Chain A
């Protein structure tokens, strides 16, 4: 589609050939949708030879680990969606279809790196070692967070779109001030901000790019372009390819097939290494597709075509890696069965954990508002406790009245 064309939804739902945006020149793709690696010579010609070389060094063991992480993430995601449908969660943002973007990028991280997610990065959380069930506190409404952001270098989810890209940039500026870049040792670390195509329209994301570029902060902007910001296609956010957003700010940018886990891993690793070495920020546009709804509260059938979903289903990231593993002899039926069994075990545990999550005491709402005493909060908290105690006393009075009758 040209820049000036108005996007029009196709009328014929029988149309099954949906354009593959990753076939655009310049988009890094190492593995074709059918699971075969692209020829090294062709990649050299397109300037992606280094990425291919890096991905060639990925061991069969890590390939299997990435497959397992993707499969577990999808199983968890499906389970959480079901839990929402059964009324156990208030809301769930599905990540189905985006597993390669998340697992591939997360596999490039080191322990000392720090992640600032949006609210759909369940796969990244999993790779960071965060028990997936801990994500449910937020969506079941028992907490606003639910995990320790420092324990796994994985910040709390951020619901106001794009706000956290500034936190990531500021944190990276802190890393830089601490001298944790460019030492050439394990001390070096980087920061990643995950956000979507919709977020690129936000002022905060643009300001984050300004700050990151002008301070040379060790931050990687990882944009998962999943094609839709709730019901609005990417064309509502931008008239140029999103990857160009970075270069305009002086931030080197790269576009990658977000459903190709090896390409994502290679591109993110290069960006992280650059950041850790003191080379500054990178903007990555991972072109992927959100197969489900934005959240369980919307209905994609109202705004997008079945043909589009089917075309993207044929580019499924998990199927692609499974095909590669089979074709290269790295995994057999037993491996896939074992992963399936692990997934079943994970989801059963998640279901039990979720249902056992009970509301905290109401008085906990007064905790952690301030670090130190704030008379108003103390006063309201004390009032609330008296109020609640009054109900208990009232109950006792009522019981006595019934007994006396």
Chain B
């Protein structure tokens, strides 16, 4: 079924990442009336980050639903709605608040297709503003992607740019699998060009499936930095500085954490022979460890240096006053680049 509530926007606009997600959600709501948004304060307030701003006014309280303050309830009812044929897109207000819903996500949502041998479809999208660097208090700056990536049945993606945010949210909603859509909240206000005439869903070489493809955002010859979400911009900045120091650094935006596009990384590392992985999540058992292992298995004879990781420490996310020391900053990434190049 299709409804049209407003003419689809056309042309290219320069939008902050948060507004790009808003535009993607608007388009998904307008295209398919099975799509509905659920979450705390997403209606009249437009969400604490205003990502859903104006959508309730446009689509009504039945399509953009202010949920009770109960994360497991939001996820559990979204699963039931998905089984009833709807496509719920739920917002978890902050990363640290997803854990009350952890059981529903990992023991139920991730496994229903498997348990039913494909008879049940649960296309739930879980939007989570994640990561730090906004000076927030505790439980508001975490990067829980590895906890979800470890669970089969979930897709975990994260855009780094406005264009990707617009496309990938629509691709996630169109996906028949449950998708955890991590929104880099420190980049919500970064602007980028967005082609609003595309639905997003038909972007990429093979439709929405391109959701899992990594992208080389800066080609280089000496070393590859793999990053995703909020760290891509930091990696690009590091590459620029390295350029001034005479090193040609390639930057790969992973875009997807489950699955990881290992092929693109292997192709890159076979050329550059060195890899640094940067992410905000703790390094221990983190995505960087998985990437290091996967790339080393396939590129052992091409590597001139061990795969190095830059990320969070094995501490709870620290108080905001010291968070810049915890995060994979420009300097810490450059330090890893130097160490890799020194082998």
Residues of A within 8 A of B (CB): 143-145, 148-150, 155-156, 158, 160, 163, 165-175, 177-178, 203-204, 207-208, 210-211, 214, 367-377
A369 to B153, CA, bound (A): 5
Contact partners of B155 in chain A: CB under 8 A: 370, 374
Contact partners of B80 in chain A: CB under 8 A: 166-174
Which 10 residue pairs across A and B have the least CB separation, nearest first? A170-B80, A166-B76, A174-B84, A170-B77, A207-B73, A371-B176, A171-B80, A144-B115, A167-B80, A368-B118
Contact partners of B259 in chain A: CB under 8 A: 374-376
A207 touches B84 (CB 8 A): no
What sequence of 0s and 1s flags, for each residue 286-324 of chain B, a beta carbon within 8 Å of any chain A beta carbon?
000000000000000000000000000000000000000
Q: What's the minimum C-beta distance from B70 to chain A, rounded to whole angstroms?
A: 4
- Given A171-B80, A372-B176: A211 in contact with B73 (beta carbons within 8 A): yes
What are 7 A-to-B residue pairs whose CB atoms are below 8 Å? A148-B119, A156-B115, A163-B104, A171-B80, A173-B84, A177-B86, A370-B113
A374 to B67, CA, bound (A): 32
Residue with the highest number of chain B CB atoms closer than 10 Å, among A156, A166, A211, A373: A166
- Of residues 13 through 70 on chain B, the ones whose CB sits less than 8 Å from some CB of chain A are 62, 67-68, 70
Q: What's the minimum C-beta distance from A137 to chain B, rounded to whole angstroms?
A: 10
Q: How many pairs, one residue from A and one from B, have CB atoms within 8 Å of each other in the complex?
A: 143
Contact partners of A373 in chain B: CB under 8 A: 209
What sequence of 0s and 1s flags, for each residue 100-115 of chain B, a beta carbon within 8 Å of any chain A beta carbon?
1001100110011111
B70 touches A144 (CB 8 A): no
| B212: nearest chain-A partner, CB-CB | A375
B68 touches A144 (CB 8 A): no
Contact partners of B341 in chain A: CB under 8 A: none
- Given A166-B77, A203-B72: A372 in contact with B175 (beta carbons within 8 A): yes
Contact partners of B10 in chain A: CB under 8 A: none
Q: What's the minimum C-beta distance from B338 to chain A, rounded to whole angstroms?
A: 32
A173 touches B68 (CB 8 A): no
- Given A371-B177, A373-B209: A170 in contact with B81 (beta carbons within 8 A): yes
B68 touches A207 (CB 8 A): yes
A170 touches B84 (CB 8 A): yes
A369 to B109, CA, bound (A): 11
Q: What's the minimum C-beta distance from B117 to chain A, rounded to whole angstroms?
A: 5
- Given A171-B81, A204-B73, A375-B259: A145 in contact with B116 (beta carbons within 8 A): yes
**In the complex, how many residues of chain B place their beta carbon closer than 8 angstroms to a beta carbon of chain A?**
48
Q: What's the minimum C-beta distance from A116 to chain B, rounded to whole angstroms?
A: 8
B85 touches A170 (CB 8 A): no
B120 is an interface residue with CB less than 8 A from chain A:
yes
B85 touches A174 (CB 8 A): yes
Contact partners of A208 in chain B: CB under 8 A: 73, 76-77
A158 to B111, CA, bound (A): 11
What sequence of 0s and 1s flags, for each residue 208-235 of chain B, a beta carbon within 8 Å of any chain A beta carbon?
0100100000000000000000000000
- Given A144-B114, A210-B68: A371 in contact with B121 (beta carbons within 8 A): yes
A143 to B118, CA, bound (A): 12
| B78: nearest chain-A partner, CB-CB | A170
| B111: nearest chain-A partner, CB-CB | A144
A144 to B112, CA, bound (A): 9
Contact partners of A177 in chain B: CB under 8 A: 62, 81, 84, 86
Residue with the highest number of chain A CB atoms closer than 10 Å, among B79, B117, B209: B117
A171 to B81, CA, bound (A): 5
A212 to B119, CA, bound (A): 26
Q: What's the minimum C-beta distance from A85 to chain B, rounded to whole angstroms?
A: 26
- Given A370-B177, A376-B259: A207 in contact with B76 (beta carbons within 8 A): yes
A375 to B213, CA, bound (A): 11
B260 is an interface residue with CB less than 8 A from chain A:
yes
- Given A372-B209, A374-B259: A160 in contact with B116 (beta carbons within 8 A): no
Contact partners of A203 in chain B: CB under 8 A: 72, 100
What sequence of 0s and 1s flags, for each residue 170-193 of chain B, a beta carbon within 8 Å of any chain A beta carbon?
000001110000000000000000
Contact partners of A368 in chain B: CB under 8 A: 113-114, 116-118
- Given A208-B73, A373-B209: A145 in contact with B84 (beta carbons within 8 A): no
A175 touches B84 (CB 8 A): yes
- Given A163-B103, A204-B72, A211-B68: A369 in contact with B175 (beta carbons within 8 A): no
A235 to B24, CA, bound (A): 51
Cβ contact of B77, chosen from A156, A160, A211, A371, cutoff 8 A = A211
Contact partners of B77 in chain A: CB under 8 A: 166-167, 169-170, 173, 208, 211
B83 is an interface residue with CB less than 8 A from chain A:
yes
B107 touches A150 (CB 8 A): no
A269 to B171, CA, bound (A): 43
Contact partners of A370 in chain B: CB under 8 A: 113, 153, 155, 177
A170 to B78, CA, bound (A): 6
A211 touches B70 (CB 8 A): yes
A373 to B210, CA, bound (A): 11
B248 is an interface residue with CB less than 8 A from chain A:
no
Q: What's the minimum C-beta distance from B263 to chain A, rounded to whole angstroms?
A: 8
B330 is an interface residue with CB less than 8 A from chain A:
no
A122 to B205, CA, bound (A): 49
B81 touches A174 (CB 8 A): yes
Cβ contact of A166, chosen from B79, B85, B153, cutoff 8 A = B79
